[in-house]
Structure 1
Amino acid sequence: MARPVTNAAFEGLLRAAGYGNAHAAFARQLNHAGRNEGRWRYDAASVYWWLRGRRPGEHVQVAMAESLTRRLGRSVTLTELGFVSANSLGSCVYPASVDSAIDSAEQVWTTLTKHTGEQASSAFDSGRALQAALGWRYDLRDETVSRNGRQTVSSTDVQSLHALADHFTDLDRRHGSGSPRTRSVMADFLMRQVAPMLRGTYSDAVGRDLMRAAATLAGQLAFMSYDAGEHAMAQHHATLGLRLAKAADDHLYGAHLLANLATQAVFLGHAREAARLVEAAIDGAGRAPAAVLARLHATAATAYGQSGERRACQLALAKAERALDRTGTDPGPRWVGYFSAAHLAGAALRCLGDLHLYKQALRHAPEALTLDSQNFRTRALHTALSAMTHARAGDTDGACNWGRKLGQQAAGIQSARVQQRVRELTTILRPQQASPQVNEVLHTLASMPAAI
C-alpha cells in the first residue's frame, strides 16, 4: 500500500506543471538541470519519496524551482516547494537568478528576525564559498532587473536605503556587532521594508541601484553576524550580497564582499580557501581604484600568511602598500573609505606574525593604532594582536603593556572576534602566570565582562 503524500505543496506544483502522473519525466528534467553534478541520478522513486517527506539538498531544490519556473511561466520560490522549514536556513547556495536571490533574502531575513541570538544550525562552508566566488565571477551579466510588482520604487526610495546602510555601518564600528538587538532591528527593517521593495515595480536603472543598496545592507549584516560569531548566518548574507551585487552590475562591491568572506575564512582557519576567494576578488575587480586594490591585497596577505606562503604574503603586502600610496588621487567608492594605513599595518602585523617574523611584524604595531577615533573595535583588535605578537616573540614586558591597554579598550565592545583575541592572549600568557605582572594582566582580562 502506497504511503500518503505529506508534501502537498510540492504535489500541487507537480500537478500544475503537468507532472502529476509523470514523475519520471520530472526526474529527467531535474537530471538535465543538474547535469554538471555528476552524482545526480534521480528517477520516479526519488519523486515518490520527496512527496512523502524526504528532503533533498538545497542545491537540488534550487534546480527544482528553476525547472518548475520554466514549465509554469512564473517564479517558483524555494518556500513554495514545501521542503524548507520557516525556521531553517538550509545550506548556503549562490542564487542562480535575481528571483532566487529575492526568495533567499526573504527566507534568511525572516529566519533572522525570529531567531536572532541563536546560533545557526550549520557552520561556515568553504566549499560553498568557493562556488559562490565562481558564480559571481563567471556567470553572465543579468540583461535586465526591471520588475512589475505592487509598489513603485523610486530613486529617492533607494537613496534612503544607502543612508541607512551608512548608519548601521557606523554603529558596528563604534560598538561591535555582539548585540542581538541591533541585528534584529536591521533584519526586521530588511524584511518589512527592503523585501517588498525588491518585489516592487522599478526600471532597470532604478532596479540596479536598488540591488546595490540591498547588497550593501546584506553585506553589512553579514559582517555584523561574522563579528558576533554567527558564521553560517554571515555566510548566507555575504553570498546573498554577492548575488545582489552581480545584479547591480557592481563588480567592485562584489569583490569587497568576496574579500569579506575571505577574511571570515582566515578567522576560522581556512587559509587556502581564503586565498582562492581573495584571488577571485582581485581578478573580478579588474582595473579597480587604488583604495579597493589596497584593501584586496591586504586581505590576500593575511590569507597567505596564515597558510605559510611567505613570498606570496610579502608580495601582496608590497602591492597593498603601493596601492595605498595612490589613494590620494584614486580614492574609490565611499564604502572603501574606511581602509587606511592603520588597517594595512594591522594586516601586516597579523600575517607577518603568522609567519613567525615577529621583529618585522612589530615594526607595524605603532601605525596599526593610528586609527580614526571612532574605530573602537579595530583599535582593540590591533592592540590584542600587538600583545600576542610581543608574547610570541618572548617579550613579556611588551605583552603585558599591550595587554593592559587591551583591558581598557575592549570594555564595552560587543564582538566575538575581540573576545577570541582576549582568549588567545590569555592562553599565551598563562604559562608565565607566576610572574606578578603577567598575573595582573591575566586577572584584568579574566574580569572583563563577556561581550557575547
Structure 2
Amino acid sequence: MARPVTNAALEELLRAAGYGNAHAAFARQLNHAGRNEGTWRYDAASVYWWLRGRRPGEHVQAAMAESLTRKLGRSVALSELGFGTTNSLGSCVYPASVDAAIDNAERVWIALTKHLGQQASGAFDSGKALQAALGWRYDLRDQMVSRNGRQTVSSTDVQSLYALADHFTDLDRRHGSGSPRTRAVMADFLVGQVTPMLRGTYTDAVGRELMRAAATLSGQLAFMSYDAGAQPVAQHHATLGLRLAKAADDRLYGAHLLANLATQAVFLGHSREATRLVEAAIDGAGRAPASVLARLYATAATAYGQSGERRACQLALAKAERALDKVSADPGPRWAGYFSPAHLAGAALRCLGDLKLYSQALRHAPDALILSSQNTRTRALHTALVAVTHARAGDTDAACAWGLKLVRQDGGIKSARVQQRVRELTTALSPKHPSRQLTKALHALAAVSAAI
C-alpha cells in the first residue's frame, strides 16, 4: 500500500504544472536543470519520496523552483515547495512576465527583511546573469502593464519613490553599504509600501512609470548589497530590476543595470562573462545619450582589461572618453549624471593596471581623485587603487604614502569593496623588503581593514 502524501504543497505545484501523473518527466527536468552540479539521476521514485516527506538539498530545491517557474510562467519561491523554512532567496530566474516579476519582487524583498543579518546561501551565478541579459535584450516588449487591485496608484505617488531612491543613493555614496541598517530600512519600505503599489490599480502609463521607479529602487538595493559583499542578494535584485525596467520600456536604465551586473562579475573575477554582459548592455542601449555610453564603455574597458584584451580595452576607453566629452550637449537621464571624469579615470586606472601598463595607468591618478565631497566611498576606492598600482609597479614608498592617505581618509565607511582593495594593497606590499615606512603602513592598513 502506497504511503499517503505529506507534502501537499509540492503535490499541488506538480499538478498545476502538468506533472501530477508525470513524475518521471519532472525528474528529467531536474536532471537537466542540475547538469552543472554533476550527474543527477533523479527519477519518479525520487519524486515519490519528496512527496512523502523526504527533504532534498537546497541546490535541488532551487532547481525545482526554476523548473516550475518556467512551466507555470510565474516565480515559484522555495517556501512554496513545502520543505520547510530556508534562508535561500531561491533560484535567480529572470521573470517571464510582469506578474511573475511582481511576485518575485515580493518574495525577494520579504526574504531580505527576514534574513538581512544572515549570510545568504549561494553565490553569483554568471550563467543566470547571461540568461537575464538575453531575456532583457530579446524578449518582446510588454504590451500592457495596467492592473486592477485594491490601492489606486497615481503619478504623484510614483514620483515620491524617486525622492526616496535619491536619499538612499546619497547615503550609500557617503557611508557605504556594509552596515545593514540602511538596507533594512529600504527593504521594509519596499515590502510595506512599494509591493502594495505594484499590486494596486493603475493605468498603463502610470504602471510603466511605477515599474521604472521600482526598478530604480531594486537596482539601488542591488548595488548596495554588492557593496556590502552580499553577492547573491545583489544579483537577485539586479535581475529583478532588469525585468522591471523591461516592463517600464526603459532600455537605458536596463542597460545600466546590466552594466552593474558586469561590474559585479568583474569584481568576482568572471571577466569573460562580464564582457558578454556589458556588450549586451551596449547593444541594447542603442543610440544612447553620451552620459550613458560613457559609463557603458568604461565598464567594458574594465572587463576587457581583466580578461587581458588590450586592444579592446583601449578602444573602449577611447570611446568612453569621446562620449564623456559630449555630455554637456547630450546629458541624458538624470540618474546617469553621477558618472564623471573621475569615474572614467578610476576605470582607466583599474583596467590599464590589470594589463600591467602601470605608467599609463598612473597618469589617470590625479583625475581619479577630483570627486565631489559626497563621493566618500569612491574616493577611498580610487585612493586604494592608486596605492595598489604603485605597489605593483614596484614603487613601495609611493604605495605606502598612498596607503597612509587612505587610512587618514577613513570616515566610518562600511564597504566590502573598500575592504577588498585594502586587502589587495596589503597583499601587494607584504612581500616587499621591510622598512620603517612599510611596517607603519601595514599596521595602519590592518587597523582600518578591521574597522571597515
**TM-score, with structure 1 as normaliser:** 0.91
The CA deviation at 1:159 is: 0.6
Whole-Å Cα distance in 1 between the matches of residues 66 and 427 of structure 2?
A: 45
Equivalent in the alignment of 1:291: 291
Equivalent in the alignment of 1:61: 65
Letter aligned with residue 96 of structure 2 = A
Distance 1:58 1:101, change over 3 A: farther
Aligned 1:44-59 pairs, distance under 5 A = 48-52=48-52, 53=54, 57-58=61-62
Whole-Å Cα distance in 2 between the matches of residues 66 and 129 of structure 1?
A: 16
What 5-or-longer segments of structure 1 have no aligned partner? 70-74
Whole-Å Cα distance in 1 between the matches of residues 381 and 17 of structure 2?
A: 58
The CA deviation at 1:312 is: 0.3
Letter aligned with residue 434 of structure 2 = A
Whole-Å Cα distance in 1 between the matches of residues 28 and 208 of structure 2?
A: 33
Q: Deviations over 1:235-256 (max 9, x none)?
A: 0100111111111111100100
Equivalent in the alignment of 1:303: 303
Aligned 1:94-109 pairs, distance under 5 A = 94-109=94-109
Whole-Å Cα distance in 2 between the matches of residues 143 and 37 of structure 1?
A: 33
The CA deviation at 1:84 is: 7.7
- Retained in 1: the 8 A contact 2:7–2:50? yes
The CA deviation at 1:4 is: 2.9
Is residue 345 of structure 1 aligned with residue 349 of structure 2?
Answer: no
Whole-Å Cα distance in 2 between the matches of residues 244 and 40 of structure 1?
A: 34
Corresponding residue pairs, total: 444
Letter aligned with residue 216 of structure 1 = T
Whole-Å Cα distance in 2 between the matches of residues 201 and 338 of structure 1?
A: 33
Equivalent in the alignment of 1:358: 358
Whole-Å Cα distance in 2 between the matches of residues 41 and 132 of structure 1?
A: 28
- Retained in 1: the 8 A contact 2:113–2:188? yes
The CA deviation at 1:157 is: 0.9
Distance 1:314 1:67, change over 3 A: closer
Distance 1:84 1:27, change over 3 A: farther
The CA deviation at 1:430 is: 1.5
Whole-Å Cα distance in 2 between the matches of residues 66 and 444 of structure 1?
A: 52
The CA deviation at 1:86 is: 5.6
Aligned 1:318-397 pairs, distance under 5 A = 318-397=318-397
Distance 1:66 1:83, change over 3 A: farther
- Retained in 2: the 8 A contact 1:84–1:90? no
Letter aligned with residue 374 of structure 1 = Q
Equivalent in the alignment of 1:72: none
Distance 1:187 1:389, change over 3 A: same
The CA deviation at 1:51 is: 2.5
Whole-Å Cα distance in 2 between the matches of residues 308 and 370 of structure 1?
A: 28
The CA deviation at 1:350 is: 0.3
Letter aligned with residue 114 of structure 1 = K
Equivalent in the alignment of 1:205: 205
The CA deviation at 1:77 is: 5.0
Letter aligned with residue 382 of structure 1 = H
Distance 1:81 1:66, change over 3 A: farther
Whole-Å Cα distance in 2 between the matches of residues 373 and 174 of structure 1?
A: 8
Whole-Å Cα distance in 1 between the matches of residues 315 and 206 of structure 2?
A: 41
| Farther off after superposition, 296-305 or 200-209 | 200-209
Aligned 1:230-269 pairs, distance under 5 A = 230-269=230-269
Whole-Å Cα distance in 2 between the matches of residues 244 and 404 of structure 1?
A: 43
The CA deviation at 1:18 is: 10
Distance 1:18 1:62, change over 3 A: closer
Whole-Å Cα distance in 1 between the matches of residues 449 and 271 of structure 2?
A: 31
Distance 1:149 1:49, change over 3 A: farther
- Retained in 1: the 8 A contact 2:75–2:103? no
- Retained in 2: the 8 A contact 1:387–1:400? yes
The CA deviation at 1:117 is: 2.6
Whole-Å Cα distance in 2 between the matches of residues 66 and 355 of structure 1?
A: 41
What 5-or-longer segments of structure 2 have no aligned partner? none
Equivalent in the alignment of 1:162: 162
Q: Deviations over 1:317-350 (max 9, x none)?
A: 0000000000011011111100000000000000
Whole-Å Cα distance in 1 between the matches of residues 450 and 251 of structure 2?
A: 38
The CA deviation at 1:396 is: 1.7
Give the match's secondary structure for 2:145.
coil
The CA deviation at 1:355 is: 0.3
Q: Deviations over 1:129-186 (max 9, x none)?
A: 1111111111111111111111111111111111100100000000000111111111
- Retained in 2: the 8 A contact 1:291–1:324? yes
Whole-Å Cα distance in 2 between the matches of residues 62 and 121 of structure 1?
A: 16
Letter aligned with residue 61 of structure 1 = A
Q: Deviations over 1:58-107 (max 9, x none)?
A: 465355356457xxxxx785454536846321221111111111111111
Distance 1:314 1:18, change over 3 A: closer
Whole-Å Cα distance in 1 between the matches of residues 407 and 34 of structure 2?
A: 51
The CA deviation at 1:447 is: 2.0
| Farther off after superposition, 43-52 or 338-347 | 43-52
Whole-Å Cα distance in 2 between the matches of residues 148 and 29 of structure 1?
A: 34
Give the match's secondary structure for 1:448.
helix
Equivalent in the alignment of 2:441: 441
